[in-house]
């Protein structure tokens, strides 16, 4: 029988609870998502240690580690490699590139975690694809991103995803109403750094929104982000 948040024969989807699992990492054993209660985390897989694109990604994640931490977000790497391979690779990155990798890396040498999370593409052998799971402080999967092996990720976009989700959550929790985040926020071509007001569901609310906010039409109103 599967645990809460797991579906037989499939990986977790957006809105599902992240599946419970015990994993071995370069920082020791970790229980997911239990060890990250009240914290967000970004779990990302890479095809393999000692590979060029993955090395550039790990340097970028490490260089932005403090920015993730400021948002209450922890990073967790993963690939189907032995832990000693992870340790030698991160040692090489520190020695040769002068960058310390501060986050744990899951040693999924059996492939069980990657299979459970849908990180293995049938056409790419046993290597994991470049998958990203953004999980909130309630253990809920909020965003899933997939990249092919030949394309490195944009780490700033992952930071933007976290900030956008947290901004939307904070607005709703603070009684300021549900808001949506426009494309390329906070540098949207139409709205700049403003956010989108939840579309009206009644005629009365539509009229009120047109008076209260800047609107292109009743279904596209926007406002400055409230502190």
Instruction: Catalogue the active-site residues.
Output: 54
Cα 10 vs. chain centroid, distance in angstroms? Answer: 19
Give me the long-range contacts of 1-10 (CB less than 8 A, separation at least 24).
5/139, 6/116, 10/118
Structure tokens at 74: 């922890």
Please, are residues 129 and 148 in contact by the beta-carbon 8 Å criterion?
Answer: yes
Q: Which residues pair with 180 in a beta bridge?
A: 196
What are φ and ψ of residue 57, in 5° steps?
-65, -45
Structure tokens at 111: 């492939």
């Amino acid at each position: 029988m599967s645990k809460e948040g797991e579906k037989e024969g499939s990986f977790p989807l957006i809105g599902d609870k992240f599946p419970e699992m015990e994993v071995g990492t370069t920082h020791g054993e970790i229980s997911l998502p239990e060890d990250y209660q009240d914290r967000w985390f970004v779990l990302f897989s890479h095809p393999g240690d000692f590979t060029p694109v993955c090395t550039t990604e790990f340097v970028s994640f490490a260089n932005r580690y403090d920015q993730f931490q400021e948002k209450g977000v922890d990073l967790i790497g993963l690939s189907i490699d032995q832990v000693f391979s992870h340790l030698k690779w991160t040692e090489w990155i520190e020695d040769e590139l002068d960058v310390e990798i501060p986050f744990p890396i899951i040693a999924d040498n059996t492939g069980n975690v990657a299979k459970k999370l849908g990180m293995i593409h049938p056409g790419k052998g046993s290597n994991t694809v470049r998958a990203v799971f953004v999980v909130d402080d309630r253990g809920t999967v909020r965003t899933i991103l997939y990249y092919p092996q030949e394309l490195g990720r944009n780490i700033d976009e992952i930071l933007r995803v976290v900030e956008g989700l947290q901004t939307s959550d904070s607005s709703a929790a603070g009684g300021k109403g549900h808001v949506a985040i426009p494309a390329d926020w906070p540098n949207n071509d139409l709205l700049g750094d403003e956010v989108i007001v939840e579309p009206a569901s009644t005629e009365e609310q539509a009229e009120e929104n047109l008076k209260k906010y800047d609107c292109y039409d009743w279904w596209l109103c926007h406002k400055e982000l409230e502190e």
